[in-house]
A and B are shown apart, each in its own frame.
Chain A
Amino acid sequence: GAVVSQHPSWVICKSGTSVKIECRSLDFQATTMFWYRQFPKQSLMLMATSNEGSKATYEQGVEKDKFLINHASLTLSTLTVTSAHPEDSSFYICSARVAGEGLDNEQFFGPGTRLTVL
C-alpha cells in the first residue's frame, strides 16, 4: 500500500518556539493531505485539509495563524505550530488521500509526530 512518512517522529520544545512537521507521500502523489490531532485515549480530530498549490481549509476552532500549513508539492505538506505552548502538546498525524477513479478514497496515515511543549 501507499506509504506516508512524517518527520520528526517526536519533538520536545520550549514554550514560545515554533515547530515544523513534515508529511511526505513516498510512492504516490497526494493531491489532498489531512492534518489531525489526537489527545491521549481520544479520537482523531481533523484540523485542516491541505490541497497542493492552494490554501489549506481549516476546521472550525482551529487557528490558521497558529497552525500554518503549506502544501508546496504533490508529495509534501508541512504543519508549523507557531509559538507553541504546553496546551499544544499532542500527537499530530497527517494522512494522504490517493486520488483517482476506481480507488477506495482511503486515507493513508503517517506514523504521527508526538509534540511535547515544556
Chain B
Amino acid sequence: GQQVMQIPQYQHVQEGEDFTTYCNSSTTLSNIQWYKQRPGGHPVFLIQLVKSGEVKKQKRLTFQFGEAKKNSSLHITATQTTDVGTYFCAGRISNDYKLSFGAGTTVTVRA
C-alpha cells in the first residue's frame, strides 16, 4: 500500500495567495523528492531533500524536510496561473532507489 500520505488532495487558490502541501511517511525516509505534473503532462523533477531539517528555495517555492525525516512540505507564495498542476512528493524508503509517491495535490488558480 501507499506509504507516503499527501494532503490536501485539491487546493483551489486565489491568484496571489500562498498555499502549502504536506507529506507524511510512517517510516523514516532516506530522501524525499518533489515533482510537478502539468495537466496532460508527465512528472517533472523539482527538487530533492536529503538532510534532516533541510530547507531549500526555488524562487517562490520553499521545500522543507522534517527533523525526523518523516515529513515534508512545499510552500508556494504569491501563486500564479503557471503554478497550476499536480504536485507530488516521492519518498525514498529503501536502498534500491524506488520512490513511493504521495497521492498528489492538484492546484487550480482563480484569477
Nearest-neighbor residue (CB-CB) of B92 within chain A: A105
Q: Are A106 and B42 in contact (CB under 8 A)?
A: no
Q: Are A109 and B48 in contact (CB under 8 A)?
A: no
A-B CB pair tally, cutoff 8 Å = 49
Q: Are B97 and A41 in contact (CB under 8 A)?
A: no
Interface residue count on the A side (C-beta < 8 Å): 22
Judge if B78 is at the interface, Cβ distance under 8 Å: no
Complexed CA–CA distance, A107 and B97 (Å):
9
The interface residues of chain A, by DSSP majority, are classed as strand
- In the complex with contacts A105-B48, A112-B42, A32-B101 CB distance below 8 A: no
- Measured CB to CB, the closest approach of chain A to B13, in angstroms, equals 18
Complexed CA–CA distance, A97 and B92 (Å):
13
Complexed CA–CA distance, A70 and B65 (Å):
36
Q: Residues 56-80 of chain B: 1 if any A CB is under 8 Å from the residue's CB, otherwise 0?
A: 0000000000000000000000000
- In the complex with contacts A32-B97, A104-B48, A107-B99, A43-B42 CB distance below 8 A: no
The interface residues of chain B, by DSSP majority, are classed as strand
- Measured CB to CB, the closest approach of chain A to B18, in angstroms, equals 24
- Measured CB to CB, the closest approach of chain B to A97, in angstroms, equals 6
Nearest-neighbor residue (CB-CB) of A41 within chain B: B106
Judge if B33 is at the interface, Cβ distance under 8 Å: yes
Q: Are A106 and B48 in contact (CB under 8 A)?
A: yes
- Of all A-B residue pairs in the complex, the 7 with the closest CB atoms, nearest first, are A106-B45, A109-B42, A44-B101, A43-B103, A104-B48, A43-B101, A109-B43
Q: Given A45-B101, A46-B98, A93-B43, list of 5 further CB < 8 A pairs?
A: A42-B104, A44-B43, A97-B97, A105-B97, A109-B35
